[in-house]
């Protein structure tokens, strides 16, 4: 069951800012997906799934690029203005290929 945030907005409004971040960090970012749900405290939240290229996911590079991507998503999407908490999960293309998780496809 989807949980609606405290304020109203159109989900389409998020597509453009997320796509901008994807393009800004291409080719390091393969794609960014998101869902809305409650976090462990029951608060409405947005959960970002950031799929990195294998070269970007290597440890040193990952430590450089991941925080920058997360910060840009915060700047572009402004989750606090939407009344939701933001959470970020990062995975490499190889990890996704092995796990074959449909939520990440």
Look at residue 29 and tell me whether its pLDDT is greater than 60: yes
Nearest by Cα to 87 from 23, 12, 32 = 32
pLDDT at 63: 92
Helix orientation angle between 12-24 and 59-77, rounded to the nearest 10 degrees: 150
- CATH fold of 12-95: GMP Synthetase; Chain A, domain 3 (3.30.300)
**DSSP class of 1:** -
Predicted confidence band of residue 7 (pLDDT cuts 50, 70, 90): low
pLDDT at 3: 47
pTM of the entire predicted model: 0.88
Mean pLDDT for all residues in the chain: 89
């Amino acid at each position: 069951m989807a949980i609606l945030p405290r304020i109203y907005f159109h989900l389409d409004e998020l597509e453009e800012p997320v796509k901008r971040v994807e393009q800004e960090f291409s080719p390091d970012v393969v794609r960014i997906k998101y869902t809305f749900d409650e976090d462990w405290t029951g608060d409405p939240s947005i959960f970002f799934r950031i799929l990195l290229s294998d070269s970007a996911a290597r440890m040193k590079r990952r430590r450089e690029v991941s925080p920058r991507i997360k910060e840009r998503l915060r700047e572009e999407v402004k989750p606090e203005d939407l009344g939701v908490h933001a959470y970020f999960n990062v995975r490499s293309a190889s990890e996704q290929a092995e796990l074959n998780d449909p939520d990440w496809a």
